[in-house]
């Protein structure tokens, strides 16, 4: 880690040269959130495959071609890969580090690399100590699930997790959002539904496949990532994890149904009390009054909402819960910016 950068993290008023690599769904929200969160930006550079101009919220941003030398003089580089996106950080990530830039990567290329901390700021900020200039953002579903699970794990130690995700199309990127919208319009007009992004119609359907299937385990890459990343973030590989990742016809915000078994008893009331004070978590739990987390309410919100908390009748020391969070904000862009904010604050 460059000494001149590490020496400035505690200077709150210092401004930083920042670049965003990639300007799709996640990259666009990174730019928006840098403004919204008043990140101390001295200069903002957008890097992509081709030179052009992008307009975000009425502001024109010049886009430069990404290359190793483009990172010279940069303090932070946010690599904005969407779910499973590869390429940019593989070829340019460590090149940026060599030039004195701190890389925060939203792609999945280096999450399990032992050199690279995998960080959710509310959960494991200590993992940032002694970083080597390259930090990874976890998978969106992993972040959203662990926001409510981590405080419970700290209190009663998790033995087993069974999760089913309900993942919005924005996780696949802007073309998937356009496809869902186009299919809904075509269906309403009685026309054939266009399909290019997904192998099946996504409008009025659910697809039990997120990621790809690269081995004979029957697990998708998204399901494998949730298990391995949970182990790394919580620092406990003994937790047994089974999950099914499903794509649903929702524009934005992922939701997850979770059955969790603990080593020690944890009552519903105790869990609610812990979650009510957990940073980055909002307790939304009054099912009798139809109050519970929903993606339509968490889209464009910083916090992950959790509710439907009840005893798991299938095991001892078990709870069932439901959570929802913005996969592009907390699940990607926001989490990355929060990591940089922690580094700047010197925490």
Instruction: Locate CATH 3.30.360.10 in the chain.
Output: 142-327
**What is residue 291's DSSP assignment?**
B
- The domain 3-137+332-345 having CATH identifier 3.40.50.720: the answer here is yes
Per residue in 288-309, pLDDT (tens digit) is 999 999 999 999 999 999 999 9
Residue 261 φ/ψ region, left for φ over 0, alpha for ψ in the -120 to 50 degree band, beta for the rest: beta
Per residue in 73-129, pLDDT (tens digit) is 999 999 997 544 457 899 999 999 999 999 999 999 999 999 999 999 999 999 999
**How confident is the model at residue 88, as a pLDDT?**
87
Instruction: Look up 101 and say whether it is catalytic.
Output: no
**What is residue 332's DSSP assignment?**
I
List, for the chain, all residue ranges whose pLDDT scores fall below the cut of 70: 1-13, 82-86, 347
**How confident is the model at residue 346, as a pLDDT?**
84
**How confident is the model at residue 245, as a pLDDT?**
98
What is the pairing mode between strands 41-48 and 59-65?
Answer: parallel
Of the CATH numbers 3.40.190.10, 3.90.25.10, 3.30.360.10, 3.40.50.620, which one belongs to the domain with range 142-327? 3.30.360.10
Two tokens at 87? 């390429």
Distance CA 309, CA 273 (A): 11
3-state SS string for 254-267: EEEEEEEEECCCCC
Distance CA 111, CA 135 (A): 8
**How confident is the model at residue 8, as a pLDDT?**
40
Listed in sequence order, the residues at least 6 apart from 93 whose beta carbon sits closer than 8 Å to its beta carbon are: 79, 103, 105, 109, 110, 134
* pTM (2 d.p.): 0.93
Distance CA 307, CA 323 (A): 6
Listed in sequence order, the residues at least 6 apart from 37 whose beta carbon sits closer than 8 Å to its beta carbon are: 334, 337, 341
**How confident is the model at residue 86, as a pLDDT?**
55
User: Which one of 19, 131, 153, 254 is the catalytic residue?
Assistant: 254
Radius of gyration, alpha carbons of the chain: 20
Residue whose pair of structure tokens reads 């299937």 in the numeric block = 213
**Cβ-based neighbour number of residue 193 at 10 Å:** 16
User: Which one of 101, 140, 245, 323 is the catalytic residue?
Assistant: 140
Instruction: Look up 140 and say whether it is catalytic.
Output: yes
**Long-range contacts of 267-271, Cβ-Cβ distance < 8 Å, separation of 24 or more:** 268/309, 268/310, 268/311, 268/319, 270/155, 271/152, 271/309, 271/319, 271/321
Cα 255 from chain centre: 12
Q: Cβ(66)–Cβ(88) under 8 Å?
A: yes
**What is residue 21's DSSP assignment?**
E
C-alpha triplet 282, 37, 279: angle, nearest 5°: 25
What is the pairing mode between strands 102-105 and 134-136?
Answer: parallel
Instruction: Locate CATH 3.40.50.720 in the chain.
Output: 3-137+332-345
Nearest to 144 by CA among 125, 108, 171: 171
């Amino acid at each position: 880690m460059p000494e001149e950068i590490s020496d400035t993290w505690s200077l709150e008023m210092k401004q930083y040269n920042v670049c965003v690599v990639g300007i799709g769904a996640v990259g666009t929200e990174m730019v928006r959130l840098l403004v919204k969160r008043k990140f101390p930006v001295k200069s903002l550079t957008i890097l992509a495959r081709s030179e052009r101009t992008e307009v975000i919220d009425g502001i024109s941003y010049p886009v430069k071609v990404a290359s190793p030398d483009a990172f010279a003089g940069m303090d932070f580089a946010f690599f904005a890969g969407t779910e499973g996106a590869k390429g940019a950080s593989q070829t340019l990530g460590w090149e940026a580090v060599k030039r004195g830039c701190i890389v925060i990567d939203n792609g999945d290329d280096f999450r399990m690399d032992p050199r690279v901390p995998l960080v959710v700021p509310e959960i494991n900020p200590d993992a940032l100590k002694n970083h080597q200039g390259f930090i990874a953002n976890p998978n969106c579903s992993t972040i959203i699930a662990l926001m409510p699970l981590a405080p419970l794990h700290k209190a009663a130690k998790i033995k087993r997790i069974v999760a089913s995700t309900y993942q919005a199309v924005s996780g696949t990127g802007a073309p998937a959002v356009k496809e869902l919208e186009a299919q809904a319009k075509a269906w309403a007009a009685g026309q054939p539904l266009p399909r290019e992004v997904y192998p099946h119609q996504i409008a009025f359907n659910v697809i039990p496949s997120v990621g790809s299937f690269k081995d004979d385990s029957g697990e998708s890459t998204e399901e494998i990532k949730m298990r391995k990343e949970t182990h790394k973030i919580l620092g406990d590989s003994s937790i047994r994890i089974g999950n099914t990742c499903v794509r649903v016809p929702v524009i934005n915000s992922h939701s997850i149904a979770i059955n969790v078994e603990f080593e020690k008893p944890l009552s519903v009331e105790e869990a609610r009390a812990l979650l009510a004070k957990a940073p980055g978590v909002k307790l939304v739990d009054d099912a009798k009054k139809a109050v519970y987390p929903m993606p339509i309410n968490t889209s464009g919100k910083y916090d992950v909402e959790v509710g439907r908390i009840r005893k798991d009748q299938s095991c001892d020391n078990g709870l069932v819960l439901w959570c929802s969070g913005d996969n592009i904000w907390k699940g990607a862009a926001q989490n990355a910016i929060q990591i940089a904010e922690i580094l700047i604050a010197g925490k």
